[in-house]
Amino acid sequence: MTTTTAAPAVPVTTSGPGASGPPRPRKRVERIYYLFLIPSLILFTLAITVPAIIGILFSFTNSIGFGDWEFVGLINYIAMFSDPMILQSYLFTFGFAAVTVVLVNVLAFLLAVGLTARIRMKTALRTIFVIPMVISGIIIAYVFNFLFSNSLPVFGQALGIEWLSSSVLANPELAWVGIVIVTAWQAIPGTLLIYIAGLLAVPGEVYEAADLDGAGKWQQLLRITLPLVAGYVVINVILGFKNFLNAYDVIVGLTDGGPGTSTRSIPMTIVTGFTGGDYAYQMANATMFFVIVVVISLIQFRITRGRNSL
């Protein structure tokens, strides 16, 4: 007597390499969904795209914002590279952005580590630390302007600290420090929330294994926490740097670009030129600044691409 065994069933795939069945049809998007895009597309085109194109075209003219004008080619762009005011604004803006992004990320990361530890009232503390993010930047700037101009000088005089006895905002060499402090105070909450999300995503078993291996808290921070949240660090650094390049309201409320032009950012220089008769010239400056921001955005996209699972 002979017995036969049935061959195991082979699963049939309907898609992918070596599929024996027909490929799955792509899901068709209903046309009604495209209809909902039309209002937003029209508004974006009229409010953003068209004015941007017109502005770029005017950057090749000698227009003062009204009246007659004529094309002058690349004269405005060439003049920018020898204009000390333009160069100073770029130097200040990029230096300010670099210093602020380092300060914000260091403080926000340390706060996030503390607010995700086993401490009491950490939910209430998180709420308190997020408050600066919901306050208008210009209001924060005016409040700190009063502190820097009135309260701190009194404090400095009482302690005999000479450099603190007068407003730091009136000192060309120290005014940028006040701007960095206020900008960081407002920007830390948003960065903090991203770091908290990253730290909460780290499995607790990793730290338990590290404890069993005898790793101290400092070693865990450097060798476990930082590598596992490196993606969040990259995102915060790039987003923060790009946002700080556009600093405007805080600077207006604190120094209005002064003393002199020592704290005048690129956006402030552009807006001042628009109202001062240098429309085409500052439009060329705005176009150049736009190109720089686009390049930074492309770098950000390339670095953060593939990190969507964070």
CATH number, domain of 248, equals 1.10.3720.10
Residue 77 forms beta bridges with which residues? none
Specify the pLDDT at position 88.
93
Residue with tokens 């101009």: 149
Q: What percentage of the chain reaches a pLDDT higher than 90?
A: 37
Cα–Cα distance, 217 to 207 (Å, whole number): 9
Residue with tokens 């919901």: 134
- Angle of helix 84-115 relative to helix 230-245, nearest 10 degrees, comes to 150
In a domain, 25, yes or no: no
Q: What percentage of the chain reaches a pLDDT higher than 70?
A: 89
Specify the pLDDT at position 23.
59
> Which range marks the domain in which residue 113 is found?
84-304
**Token representation of residue 87:** 């160069």
First to last CA, the chain: 62
On the question of pLDDT at 13 being above 80, the answer is: no
Closest CA to 188 of 196, 199, 178: 196
On the question of pLDDT at 11 being above 70, the answer is: no
- Identify the band that residue 121 occupies on the pLDDT scale cut at 50, 70 and 90: confident
* 250 vs 4, residue with greater confidence: 250
Phi-psi region at 45: left, alpha or beta (left = phi > 0; alpha = psi -120 to 50):
alpha
| 177-200 average pLDDT score | 92
Specify the pLDDT at position 21.
53
Domain count, the chain: 1
Residue type, 190: G
**Furthest-apart CA pair in the chain: how many Å?**
110
Specify the pLDDT at position 158.
86
Backbone angles phi, psi at 256, to 5 degrees: 55, 35
In a domain, 90, yes or no: yes
Question: What's the chain's average pLDDT?
Answer: 84
Q: Are 196 and 116 in contact, with CB atoms under 8 Å apart?
A: yes
- Identify the band that residue 1 occupies on the pLDDT scale cut at 50, 70 and 90: very low
In a domain, 59, yes or no: no
**Residues 29-85: tens digit of each pLDDT:** 777 888 888 889 999 999 989 999 999 999 999 888 888 888 998 999 999 988 999
In a domain, 65, yes or no: no
**Cα angle vertex 300, ends 49, 81, to 5°?**
65
In a domain, 9, yes or no: no
Specify the pLDDT at position 308.
46
CB neighbours (10 Å) of residue 9? 6
172-200 in b/e form (b: 16+ CB < 10 A) is: eebbbebbbebbbbbbbbbbbbbbbebbe
In a domain, 249, yes or no: yes
Cα–Cα distance, 59 to 281 (Å, whole number): 6
In a domain, 111, yes or no: yes
- CA–chain centroid gap for 109, Å, is 16
In a domain, 33, yes or no: no
